[in-house]
Chains A and B, each alone.
Chain A
Amino acid sequence: MRLLTHNMLSCNIKGVKNGYPLRLEAEKWTEKEVDFNAKFLRGIFPKIDWPALVGSARSFGFNDLLPDEAPDSSLLASDDDLLRRFHHALLEIHVEEGGLVCPETGRRFPINKGIPNLLLHEDEV
């Protein structure tokens, strides 16, 4: 699971109002190189929840990879280094083992072999 995916996952347990972002508990993760696509990155930037992305990157110890505050999109157009760091955080960090925890209920969704399982139990739907 990449951080881009994490950025759009939400807990949909019945009655949960603040199921986003899921807290990432990474036990094992890897970095894999992915083709750099500036057009794709600039296109997706406005959709990204910046604090959630920064928070998840920090959970791997990437404390200085991204600025705390979301950069202006014009900066993303001119600053190639920033765009590459954004690319790395978004697409090149893969969580292999761990969990995703609902901020409201504490329910933990497991991640095994890189695959999050977000199926709900019968009493959660």
Chain B
Amino acid sequence: MVASTTMTDASKYQESDSANIDTPCSANVCATPDIEKKYVHHVYNAIAPHFSATRFARWPKVASFLNSLSPGAVILDAGCGNGKYLGFNPNCFYIGCDISPSLIDICAKKDHEVLVADAVNLPYKTNFGDAAISIAVLHHLSTESRRRKAIEELIRVVRKGGTVLITVWAVEQEDSSLLSKWTPLSEKYNEGWVSGSIPQVRNSAALMLKQIPEANEDCCSTTGISKHRYAHPGYGEEGRREDNVIAASFCNGIQEDAISSSKAVTNQEYFVPWHLPYHRAEVNGTSTTAIANGLAKKDDKKGAVVYNRYYHVFAEGELQRLVTGIENAATVEQFYDKSNWCIILQKR
């Protein structure tokens, strides 16, 4: 019974994924994959109060972006979490949305203007906002097509000349020891640890293909990005060289075979643990259910219920590559800061 569910879920996922490769903007991009439901939405709903209590520090780069906006600007925060940036610049009007009702409840209690919505399909009119922000959101989307669609949505909802700030976790973490605390997805899958709905796509040709830009005009011009290069343990020369091999072979018109035969680049798919202290979990009945369903486990040593959050951590240049196919988006600035890749776009 369990085994057959596994097969079905995994093959479904694979199917929709290959469809996404062919038609990156097809409608099914908007359908939420199981992995995000279980390891993003469900987790944030379960940990919302604890997550919120630990998320108050505002990031200077986001603050300066918000402070640069004119009085009267409408700012759309897509994936606002506990709403820590809502109302930051009091001369502007903020609307936050998040897919997690628990996090949105927290925002509403602080009197923020919020709604429950999906960042991949924003319920806003086209060309209305003056700015949109997506802070630490895109790395929770599990396919490249969905990550691109989310950027397209941010661009769509701002006016011509409006700006968009996106930040995502980088695979190149400043504290490299963090990576050893995360669970690379394919390995866990191979151990049979996770439930069957986690597809084994990590090392497949399909995933490698997804990492190739679908619009290839600019795929060889990585110069704008390379100025941020720096050495980092865990993201060594080998990974970098392979990046170049992929880009070069794509531009030469050599496709699937060459790409799939090259070794996988640095792992970018992870489970990142969230430790929910027992005293927090007790007031929250969902943890008991989550443990029973295998979506969380107890760690008596740490006195916490451990949830896994799905992350696709971004590699250098990846944000820029995603934006390349979006014709009405111009890159204003991109930078690395505090283990995040960031990009500021302007709608043309």
Please report A residues at the B interface, Cβ cutoff 8 Å: 1-2, 4-5, 8-12, 14, 20, 37, 39-44, 47, 113-120, 122, 125
Contacts and interface: CB of A to CB of B under 8 A. Distances in A.
Interface stretch (B111-119, B201-209, B308-316): B111-119
Interface residues of A: mostly helix, strand, loop or mixed?
Answer: mixed
A8 B116 contact: no
Given A40-B72, A122-B31, A125-B31, A12 B121 contact: yes
Nearest to B117: A118
A2 B122 CA distance: 18
- In the A-B complex, the 8 residue pairs with the closest CB atoms: A43-B72, A125-B30, A118-B123, A40-B72, A117-B116, A118-B117, A116-B115, A8-B128
A120 B97 CA distance: 14
Interface stretch (B4-12, B99-107, B189-197, B256-264): B99-107
Given A12-B121, A40-B71, A5 B91 contact: no
A4 B117 CA distance: 17
Contacts of B116: 115-119
Nearest to A22: B123
B248 interface: no
* A12, A39, A122: most-surrounded residue (chain B CB, <10 A): A12
Nearest to B30: A125
B93 interface: yes
Contacts of B105: 113, 115
Instruction: Please report whether the interface of chain B is mostly helix, strand, loop or mixed according to DSSP.
Output: mixed
B344 interface: no
Interface of B: 27-28, 30-32, 70-74, 91-93, 95, 97, 99, 101, 104-105, 108, 113-118, 121-126, 128-129, 159
A10 B121 CA distance: 11
Nearest to B99: A119
B121 A125 contact: yes
Given A42-B72, A44-B93, A47-B74, A1 B115 contact: yes
Contact of B113 (A2, A12, A14, A44): A2
15 contacts: A8-B125, A8-B129, A9-B115, A11-B123, A39-B72, A40-B71, A44-B72, A47-B128, A113-B108, A115-B114, A116-B115, A117-B115, A117-B116, A118-B97, A122-B32
A20 B93 contact: no
Contacts of A115: 101, 104-105, 108, 114-116
A71 B74 CA distance: 21
A9 to B, nearest CB: 5
Nearest to A9: B123
B91 A10 contact: no
Contacts of B73: 43
Specify which of A8, A10, A39 lies most central, judged by the most chain B CB atoms within 10 Å of its CB: A8
A115 B192 CA distance: 40
Given A4-B93, A125-B27, A120 B121 contact: yes
B189 to A, nearest CB: 24
Contact of B125 (A20, A37, A39, A44): A20
B115 A5 contact: yes
B118 A8 contact: no
Nearest to B27: A14
Given A9-B115, A113-B105, A120-B118, 15 more contacts: A1-B115, A2-B113, A4-B93, A5-B95, A5-B113, A8-B125, A8-B128, A9-B124, A12-B121, A44-B72, A117-B117, A119-B99, A119-B117, A120-B121, A122-B32
B221 to A, nearest CB: 34
Contacts of A12: 121-123
Contacts of A116: 115-116
Contacts of B101: 115, 117
Contacts of B114: 115
A116 B115 CA distance: 5
B113 A1 contact: yes
